[in-house]
Amino acid sequence: MIKRVGVLTSGGDAPGMNAAIRAIVRAGIANGLKMYAIFEGFKGLVEDDIIEVDRSFVSEILMRGGTILRSARLPEFKDSAVQDIAVANLKKHGIDALVVIGGDGTYRGAGALSRKGINTIALPGTIDNDIASSDYTIGFDTCLNTITECVDKLRDTTSSHQRCSIIEVMGNHCGDLAIYSGTACGADLILSPEYLPSEKEIISKLRHIHLTRSRHALIIVSEKLLPNLEDFAKHIFEATGFETRVEILGRIQRGGSPSASDRVLAARMGVYAINALMNQKTSRCVGIRGMQVVDYDIDEALKMTKSNSSELIDVISTLK
Ligand code: F6P
């Protein structure tokens, strides 16, 4: 039976990570476990930045963005010798299980530790919604609301000046933030890895808007998709006459108080993770499918491909 459980957050922070930490710590204590906070992700494991925590450690954090455990990216954690240091530190504290919150890099780290004998459970915590084993990740909904608020504001000035605004959103090669926010904001064009109209279609649509319709346009584009957005804006101006501006929303998308939906998701997944450990599960990752919280083998999950935005792409095509 496991007795001591560590919790860490790794990779890009996401709103709702604190709500997940709270749920994990409180569910662990409710099950008679000793709970440990590990700071700065896998870096804290390697550097032994680990403390035992009580229930009050996670008081008043439910509504806070970011992560009280802080986060880091540690590419060196791929190295087996570095993982051995982490395992030795865990053993020093008598910690036999870990719950990690993060994206696919975090899942890989958790998988490696489980192969070295540590019971691990991973939770999807990233704004990108790029974890195929879960319909939604913790942080995605809040981020989507942040983008929607920003784009609604941009629409005011874009329409007042009869301009075209190109708005870059995050997503790290996953187009969900662009596709969902583009739908929520009624963007004229959405450019994402899964949905990329040809240059001819883009220009023809913008010419049509410039000449005949509202005379302003909003384009939402996924980060890392086009080589240079300023060049793209220049090209639009030359081809359509539309005065075009680029807005990169950047890391503001990762901040803010988590939405109610992210808090609930985090609470459900956190409690599920502790139940999974109590049921002797290891090397599992938690996800949501429909209304149901589920778990998968981490290695299997990392091989899955996302498919759930196709219906939305149909919606966008119909409404364009
Ligand atoms: O994974 C979350 C994310 O915000 C991505 O959307 C983005 O590409 C990346 O992290 C940026 O990471 P960093 O803040 O480390 O540059």
Please tell me the predicted confidence (pLDDT) of residue 186.
95
Residue 141: which H helix or E strand, with range?
helix 140-160
Domain boundary among 254, 285, 314: 254
With tokens 């589920």, the residue in question is 294
pLDDT tens per residue across span 112-156: 999 999 999 999 999 999 999 999 999 999 999 999 999 999 999
Residue 311 has pLDDT above 90, yes or no: no
Asked whether residue 131 falls in the same domain as residue 108, the answer is yes
Residue 192's domain is classified under what CATH number? Answer: 3.40.50.460
Is 27 in the same domain as 75?
A: yes
Instruction: Please indicate, yes or no, whether residues 130 and 38 belong to a single structural domain of this protein.
Output: yes
Domain contains 314: no
User: Across the chain, what does the average pLDDT equal?
Assistant: 96
Q: What is the pLDDT of residue 227?
A: 96
126 lines ligand 1 (CB under 6 A): yes
CA 3 – ligand 1 centroid, Å: 34
In a domain, 320, yes or no: no
Has residue 317 got a pLDDT over 90?
A: no
| Domain coverage including residue 25 | 4-139+258-305
Instruction: Report which ligand 1 atom has the smallest distance to the Cα of 170.
Output: 6
Residue 91 included in any domain: yes
Q: How many domains does the chain have?
A: 2
Using pLDDT thresholds of 50, 70 and 90, give the confidence band for residue 307. confident
Tell me, yes or no, whether 317 lies in a domain: no
In a domain, 313, yes or no: no
Dihedral angle over CA of 5, 9, 11, 12, nearest 10: 160
82 lies in the same domain as 196: no
Mutate to test the pocket of ligand 1, among 137, 140, 170 (most ligand atoms within 8 A of CB): 170
Which residue, among 158, 277, 276, 178, has the nearest Cα to 223 in the 3D structure? 178
Q: Domain for residue 262, yes or no?
A: yes
Backbone angles phi, psi at 271, to 5 degrees: -65, -40
CATH classification of the domain holding 43: 3.40.50.450
Question: Which of 194, 220, 254 delimits the end of a domain?
Answer: 254
If you average pLDDT over residues 191-201, what whole number do you get? 93
Same domain, 269 and 244: no
Say yes or no to pLDDT of 308 above 70. no
Cβ(170) – ligand 1 distance below 6 Å: yes
Please, which residues bridge with residue 289 across strands?
292
Same domain, 288 and 166: no
Residue 8's closest CA among 107, 115, 154? 107
Report the pLDDT value the prediction gives residue 211, as an integer from 0 to 100.
87
CA pair distance 225, 283, nearest whole angstrom: 33
Pocket flag, ligand 1, residue 127 (CB < 6 Å): yes
Q: Are residues 244 and 271 in the same domain?
A: no
Give the lowest-confidence range in 70-79, 243-252, 297-306, 307-316: 307-316
Separation between Cα atoms, residue 82 and residue 96, nearest integer Å: 18
Q: Using one digit for the tens of pLDDT, what is the confidence trace for 96-116?
A: 999 999 999 999 999 999 999
Range 33-44 average pLDDT: 98
Would you say the CB of residue 44 lies under 6 angstroms from ligand 1?
no
Both 292 and 212 in one domain: the answer is no
Helices (runs of H) and strands (runs of E) counted in the chain:
11, 11
CA of 291 to the centre of ligand 1 (A): 28
156 in active site = no
pLDDT at 213 over 80: no
pLDDT on residue 319: 81
- Are 57 and 116 part of one and the same domain? yes
